[in-house]
Structure 1
Amino acid sequence: MTRQLELGKPEERRKPEKRVNGIFWIILINLGLFVADHIFQVRSIKSLYLYHNWPAWYQFVTATFCHASWEHLSSNLFFLYIFGKIVEEEEGNFALWLSYILTGVGANLVSWLVLPRNAVSIGASGAVFGLFAISVLVKITWDWRKILEALILGQFVIEKVMEAAQASAAMTGPFRGGYPVQTVNHIAHLSGALVGVVLVWLVSRIPSPPDHEGPTLQGKSDKIR
């Protein structure tokens, strides 16, 4: 029925489908490293963790793709898909990857500066909170109906994100069975979200090119800058 109705629409009214691939690659990398680490027990994967006592520069990036347990991974992947898909649909593939890396690295950097030297940080939770903040900011408009919708749904979304935080990114204390004891790293969550807000603010300061297309960019004009 839908396809039949679409056939009757003028060509200019048909909206091309956006290809969303970046978020699936991010999810596949997280899944692949988890399988290699926890199922095949590839020892070299642990060198990707962020060891606070003497970190390598690349660990600030690679630690965002590693996870301590299936619960830790599954909760992060659920919200990665939701918020990452929104960011990619709104801003594109490059913006998604840039947002994931910068918010994840920012969260790990703050964690390294604040947490004890015996801590080990892994997980995408900082990036999840960063993508959450970005997806909210790029969707918000001054339309009162959109604001009301955000208020109604916002508390539910935030509650679910905080539940995911209970399986989150900071590892401290002695190792058990080759893996450190897991604790919640709220510093990574907050700093990841703040990096996302700062990233959107910085991008908003870049002057937009003149609008030669007319109505094609009209939908962007009422977004918060």
Structure 2
Amino acid sequence: MLYTFGKIVEEEEGAGAVWLTYIVCALGASIASFFFDQGAVSLGASGAVFGLFAVAVLLKLKFSFQKLVEGLVLGQFVVKQVLQEVKSAQAGGLAIAGAKVGHVAHLGGALMGVLLILALSRLPEVSPKKKLP
């Protein structure tokens, strides 16, 4: 999933955007996990990957037919995953190989991804300098 959604972000915005998104969403996931999951410390990458899910979908929601269809397909997947995470978090989560799955961290990472896109969309466009003939 990291490769799939990271590749989408990279194709749209570049490699630096993948790193920025991953780090910001990982921090958001850890913070959400700590404050809303009874002081749990999130150590996995899944919260950051959930953030990449959200960013990939929002980047695809530009107004062209192809991008709209891609955004809807990806969006359907992300919405399904987010709803599954909400249900799992409400049910108390589950443990895999003795480690508790950080469902709240997943949701925190996705939320941080959405907030990152909202913040970056408010920045003015920077156009590359044109070379004079």
Shift of 1:186: 1.9
Q: Supply the AA of the counterpart residue of 1:197.
A: V
Alignment partner, residue 197 of structure 1: 114
In structure 2, which of residues 10, 15, 18 is the aligned counterpart of residue 88 of structure 1?
A: 10
Q: Supply the AA of the counterpart residue of 2:37.
A: L
Using the alignment, how far apart are the partners of 2:73 and 2:18 within structure 1? Answer: 26
SS of residue paired to 2:8: helix
Alignment partner, residue 125 of structure 2: 208
Q: Supply the AA of the counterpart residue of 1:100.
A: Y
Give aligned pairs, total: 120
Specify which structure has the bigger relative contact order, considering alpha-carbon pairs within 8 angstroms and separated by 6 or more residues: 2
Aligned-CA RMSD value? 2.9
Structure 2 runs not aligned, ≥5 long: 86-92
TM-score by structure 1 length? Answer: 0.45
In structure 1, which of residues 75, 94, 103 is the aligned counterpart of residue 25 of structure 2?
A: 103
- The 8 Å contact of residues 58 and 71 in structure 2, kept in 1 or not, is answered as no
Structure 1 runs not aligned, ≥5 long: 1-78, 165-171, 214-225
Assess, with a 3 A threshold, how the Cα gap between structure 1 residues 102 and 153 changes in structure 2: closer, same or farther. closer
Within a 5 Å distance, the mapping from 1:1-225 to structure 2 comes to 79-117=1-39, 119-152=40-73, 154-156=75-77, 159=80, 181-210=98-127
TM-score by structure 2 length? Answer: 0.72
Identity %: 50
Using the alignment, how far apart are the partners of 1:114 and 1:126 within structure 2? Answer: 14
Assess, with a 3 A threshold, how the Cα gap between structure 1 residues 203 and 210 changes in structure 2: closer, same or farther. same
- The 8 Å contact of residues 57 and 74 in structure 2, kept in 1 or not, is answered as no
Deviations 1:144-191 (A, max 9, x none): 454344334543465578889xxxxxxx9xxx9xxxx32232211111
> Would you tell me which structure has more helix in proportion to its own residues?
2
> Would you tell me which structure has more strand in proportion to its own residues?
1
Using the alignment, how far apart are the partners of 2:118 and 2:47 within structure 1? Answer: 18
